[in-house]
Amino acid sequence: MSVQRSLQELDAIEETLVRGIRDFMSQRGFARCHLGLSGGLDSALVAYLAVRAVGKENVDCLILPSRFTSQSSLDDAMELATHLGCRYEILSIEPMFASFLETLVTMFEGRPFDTTEENLQARIRGTLLMAFSNKFRSMLLTTGNKSEISMGYCTLYGDTCGGLAPIGDLFKTEIFALCRRINEKQRLQSGGNIIPESILTKPPSAELRPNQTDQDYLPPYDVLDAVLQPYLSENRSANEIAEALGLDNVLTDRIVQTVIAMEFKRRQMPPVLKITANS
């Protein structure tokens, strides 16, 4: 189960997003853009699209590791930026994160590590990315996808900070397909991938706690997207979707109810480049 796109559709989506970034920035007087580059798939795609839209000389990637960031993610982020030819800076958030924890230690005494500490990391990153935006008049591109945004798997005033959400109308399974298609075309031109293969094959993770993966919080993306697509685009009910896909009603209802509950987050998101008529 997943959202299926033909090669022609994937190529058309890529061109639409490239043109969308370029036009959105130009119309608002921005020549430069930047993003947080995590070593994950979503930020890799946004970086690639940004370089195509405005040129590698006008794209900055900020790599913002914490104590939970793996060396492989750092390596993947640097390798991608090198392939793209754009500038990157590594700014550790660890001193700021440690300072926050020290300030809150008495108030939080006896309480376990949870999403509070996870969100602190995202909000520190958001603050640094917005500081860069202000200082250098650079458009901050957010990297959230439609699957995560629909389910509220994002941090207000953290990874939702920015001026434009280029891939906010792409499901995660579509992002995997688009990145594979980008690599396929690149191999025909140069014989190598532009997006490191390890980014495509490792389990998606926000790396906000030890051994975290997205599936700690979300259903597998192929299942999630298969439910979200008919609900968001075709106005199908949870029961209809469960019957059509052969899924448990409890699962489809939980997904739909989460989408409804997370509306308040989506209303505070930056503009999304739309590629679908209904979403």
Residue 278 has pLDDT above 90, yes or no: no
Over 90: is that where the pLDDT of 23 sits? Answer: yes
Contacts of 225 (CB under 8 A, 6+ apart): 1, 2, 3, 147, 171, 172, 173, 174
Query: Could you read off the pLDDT of 203-231 as tens digits, one per residue?
Result: 999 999 998 999 989 999 999 999 999 99
Q: What is the pLDDT of residues 112-146, one digit of tens each?
A: 999 999 999 999 999 999 999 999 999 999 999 99
Per-domain residue ranges for the chain? 7-215+262-266
Q: Could you give phi then psi for residue 141, rounded to 5 degrees?
A: -95, 125
Q: At what angle do helices 249-261 and 238-245 cross, to 10 degrees?
A: 140
pLDDT band of residue 250 (cuts 50, 70, 90) is very high
**Any idea which residue has 């640094």 for tokens?**
128
Query: For residue range 184-203, what is the model confidence (pLDDT) as tens digits?
Result: 999 999 889 999 999 999 99
* Of 213, 243, 236, 214, residue with least CA distance to 145: 214
Q: Provide mean pLDDT across the span 7-26.
A: 97
**pTM over 0.85, yes/no:** yes
CA distances from 82 to 44, 51, 96, 150, 189 (A): 12, 12, 27, 32, 17
Under CATH, which number does the domain 7-215+262-266 receive? 3.40.50.620
Say which residues have a Cβ less than 8 Å from residue 41's Cβ, sequence separation at least 6: 175, 176, 179, 195, 199, 200, 204
7, 23, 8, 6: which is closest to 274 by C-alpha? 23
| Residue 274 phi, psi (nearest 5) | -90, 130
Which of 240, 230, 245 is CA-nearest to residue 279?
Answer: 230
